[in-house]
Amino acid sequence: MVNEPNSLPFDSVMNPGLGKYISLYNEAIENPEKFYGDIAQILDWYKRWDKVLDDSKSPYFRWYVNGKLNLSYNAVDRHIQENRRNKAAYIYVNEKGVEKIVTYQGLFKRVNAFSQALKDLGIGKGDRIAIYMPMIIEEIVAMLSAARIGAVFTLVFSGFGAEALADRINDSGAKIVITADGGFRRGKVIPLKKTVDSALEMTKSVESVIVVNHVGNEINMVEGRDYWYHHIVGEKSYVEPERMDSNDPLFILYTSGTTGKPKGVIHGNGGYGVWVANTLKWTFDPQENDRWWCAADIGWITGHSYIVFAPLILGLTSILYEGSLDYPFPDQMWRLVSYYGVNILYTSPTAIRALMKYGDAYPRNHDLSSLKTLGTVGEPINPKTWEWYYKVIGNSKCPIVDTYWQTETGGIIISPSIGIGYGPLKPGSATFPLPGIDPVITDDSGNKVDSGQKGYLTIRKPWPGLMLGLNNQDEKYRTSYFEKIKGFYFTGDYAIRDKDGFYWLLGRSDEVLKVSGHRIGTIEIEDALLSTGIVAEAGVFGKPHQVKGESIVAFVVLKSDANVDSPAEALKKGVRDNFGSLMTPDEIHIVKSLPKTRSGKIMRRIIKAVYLNQISGDVSTLESEASVTEIREAIEKFRKDLGGVGD
């Protein structure tokens, strides 16, 4: 097991911009008590902590012990006491063009009014509530109101079906569900209340349901259980924020695991608040007058941290968008960036690739000159996509902040850091760890691997954003995250650290293929396909092979302007010539779309399950189930062309 300090070889990449970063990084590793105490000043505290970190019950780390605060107060109240009272907290817009601007004063009024409504329904400190809503202001109000009164919320992504919602309600023990009659998505109305009604047939803990009248649909309202939001919310309420302990739970967020029941990740008030606010400041360096757009869904951790808590703590103006990024037209995202003068854009590589396939003309028809920083989140960004984002969207002027983190980490942990000196960038690399993050890439036995070698990304020291634990799953918390590589936090991701200290993420370790004795990440193969210049999106998996161990299968979406005879063969040749035969897929299937979640992630497990004639599981989170049908048709055609020969 490696125990030496994690040296960062900056000599080969040193420039003036890295000086502050190196100083902060070294301080965080060498004097964590002072460093973490200093960065906690980003929040207002009712009572200062007695101890920065209690690690006596490792791996249950507790931050800012006995410190008292309230994140709703930090997100809203303190701004209206200063000069942000009339500043826009959110500019809401949906795909139908409806716009609503909510100031910090308006948000304060809404949060207090809804906090009182929750209290009137018997909700108080420690109670659990479930939120199942579209991307609307009331969703954020519900989160902040729960935080204000000390209730623990679990926000369920509105793309989940009734069974997934019921699972989360049952595991969390939610007493109340907050929802809407429906939401807008690609010109359709998603019937959210109907899904809630179905879910509640499988639950016992829910006493009340609050419904926002958002789309105007007729819905079933159960007397004595269901309440219209606008009927129970007053106007003149003020609710004193609950003084929460730093380590009281703030929310439970369920990971979208591909196998078994999802894990309920618990984040607290103090450490989480400190981490998300500082990481947004470090990585993107937002300024007072910037317009920030995190184009994610609040239902995932990216939305919790960087649509709601961090931007509000910093007093920013955020774009809140309800709808699909390419609807009603492929230039929807670029139109909104131009119209609202977005300065910092944070989205997923999958979303970028989906928009890339429409070509350069759409973004170039819009004035994107307001942009000064571009960010990515959710998965590694391949170099070709990085370059398109940089050149076409950023006009070769905007640095790209490629962030790596997880639901469990609370906030960003590896990323360029504009606010503290980010140095050079390498397309496709998340660059360096943020201050306080001490990563080590190891082999199966926990030995540190050499530069340039693949291994498991682990983290040696705790940091404030790290989850408090898993809801009802203490044993899984220890075994899944801290016993795979003993004493280290195990991310479950595969990575390389190059000779200059740059980190390259290669995807989930359980998605690494073993081909002819060599470990190859699915991301590496997808990058190779995308580098050919004619592929917009790719999904890769392995199937059993008697000789190689695993055989590479790829499903790809071609760019709209791709004009190639026999594209599958052309792609194989392109990969073989540039990356070698080991990386070349044995099968390449051309389809019009790939199954993706509504948060933009390609569902490789579903592609593989369909291919292998296995049950593909719940597809309720998919952007379009039609893509699964396309894949089935492509497979059937392939097998027919082989003369009916199976696998």
Q: Which run of H or of E encompasses 35?
A: helix 32-39
pLDDT at 470 (0 to 100): 97
Looking only at the bridges linking them, the beta strands covering 62-65 and 152-155 are unpaired
Least confident of 201-205, 228-232, 561-565: 561-565
pLDDT at 645 (0 to 100): 38
**Centroid of chain to Cα 469:** 19
Mean pLDDT over 590-616 rounds to 77
Q: Which amino acid is at 73?
A: Y
Q: Which run of H or of E encompasses 521?
A: strand 518-521
Judged against a pLDDT cut of 60, whether residue 370 lies above it is answered with yes
Q: What DSSP letter does each residue of 527-577 carry, written as one string?
A: HHHHTTSSEEEEEEEEEEETTTEEEEEEEEEE-TT---SSHHHHHHHHHHH
* Whole-angstrom distance, CA of residue 551 vs CA of residue 528: 16
**Phi, psi dihedral angles at 382 (to 5 degrees):** -75, 155
Judged against a pLDDT cut of 50, whether residue 1 lies above it is answered with no
* Whole-angstrom distance, CA of residue 118 vs CA of residue 125: 11
Higher local confidence (pLDDT), 234 or 417: 417
- Residue 531, judged by CB atoms within 10 A of its CB (0-12, 13-18, 19+), counts as middle
Q: For residue 561, give both structure tokens.
A: 């302007």
Distances (CA, A) of 305 to 201, 269, 308, 405: 32, 12, 6, 11
Mean pLDDT over 88-103 rounds to 97
Least confident of 138-142, 231-235, 524-528, 624-628: 624-628
Least confident of 446-450, 543-547, 552-556, 625-629: 625-629
- State what percent of residues in the chain have pLDDT above 90: 70
Based on its alpha-carbon atoms, the radius of gyration of the chain, rounded to whole angstroms, reads: 24
**Phi, psi dihedral angles at 104 (to 5 degrees):** -65, -35
Judged against a pLDDT cut of 80, whether residue 4 lies above it is answered with no
pLDDT at 615 (0 to 100): 52
Q: Which amino acid is at 29?
A: I
* Whole-angstrom distance, CA of residue 377 vs CA of residue 356: 17
Judged against a pLDDT cut of 80, whether residue 245 lies above it is answered with yes
SS3 278: helix
Beta carbons within 8 Å of 11's beta carbon, 6+ residues apart = none
* Whole-angstrom distance, CA of residue 297 vs CA of residue 49: 33
**Phi, psi dihedral angles at 625 (to 5 degrees):** -70, -15
Higher local confidence (pLDDT), 401 or 383: 401
Tell me which residue of 378, 437, 381 sits closest to 256, measured CA to CA: 378
**Centroid of chain to Cα 284:** 16
Q: If you ran DSSP here, which 8-state letter would residue 431 be given?
A: B
Given pLDDT bands bounded at 50, 70 and 90, which one contains residue 251? very high
Mean pLDDT over 550-571 rounds to 88
pLDDT at 293 (0 to 100): 98
Q: For residue 356, give both structure tokens.
A: 């890339």
For the ranges 143-152, 228-237, 440-449, the one whose mean pLDDT is highest: 143-152
Domains contained in the chain, CATH given? 518-641 (3.30.300.30)
Average per-residue pLDDT for the chain: 89
Judged against a pLDDT cut of 80, whether residue 243 lies above it is answered with yes
SS3 57: coil
- State what percent of residues in the chain have pLDDT above 70: 92
pLDDT at 366 (0 to 100): 98
Count CA within 13 A, CB hemisphere, residue 365. Answer: 13
Evaluate the CA torsion angle 334, 555, 404, 157 in order and state its sign.
positive
Partner residues linked to 180 by β-bridges? 212
Judged against a pLDDT cut of 50, whether residue 647 lies above it is answered with no
pLDDT at 607 (0 to 100): 85
pLDDT tens profile 184-195 = 988 999 999 999
* Whole-angstrom distance, CA of residue 439 vs CA of residue 464: 15
* Whole-angstrom distance, CA of residue 373 vs CA of residue 93: 22
SS3 502: coil
SS3 157: coil
* Whole-angstrom distance, CA of residue 492 vs CA of residue 259: 14
**3-state SS of 179-236?**
EECCEEECCEEECHHHHHHHHHCCCCCCCEEEEECCCCCCCCCCCCCEEEHHHHCCCC
Residue 292 contacts residue 311 (beta carbons within 8 Å)? yes
pLDDT at 256 (0 to 100): 61
Left (φ > 0), alpha (ψ -120 to 50) or beta: where does 258 sit? alpha
Judged against a pLDDT cut of 80, whether residue 428 lies above it is answered with yes
Q: For residue 395, give both structure tokens.
A: 């006009």
Mean pLDDT over 158-162 rounds to 86
Judged against a pLDDT cut of 80, whether residue 5 lies above it is answered with no
Mean pLDDT over 344-365 rounds to 92
pLDDT at 512 (0 to 100): 72
pLDDT at 582 (0 to 100): 81
Judged against a pLDDT cut of 90, whether residue 522 lies above it is answered with no
| Number of residues written out for the chain | 647
pLDDT at 599 (0 to 100): 59
Residue 51 contacts residue 36 (beta carbons within 8 Å)? no
Partner residues linked to 431 by β-bridges? 503
pLDDT at 3 (0 to 100): 34
pLDDT tens profile 310-330 = 999 999 999 999 999 999 999
pLDDT tens profile 281-299 = 999 999 999 999 999 999 9
pLDDT at 259 (0 to 100): 45
Q: For residue 290, give both structure tokens.
A: 């910037």
Residue 239 contacts residue 115 (beta carbons within 8 Å)? yes
* Whole-angstrom distance, CA of residue 51 vs CA of residue 66: 8
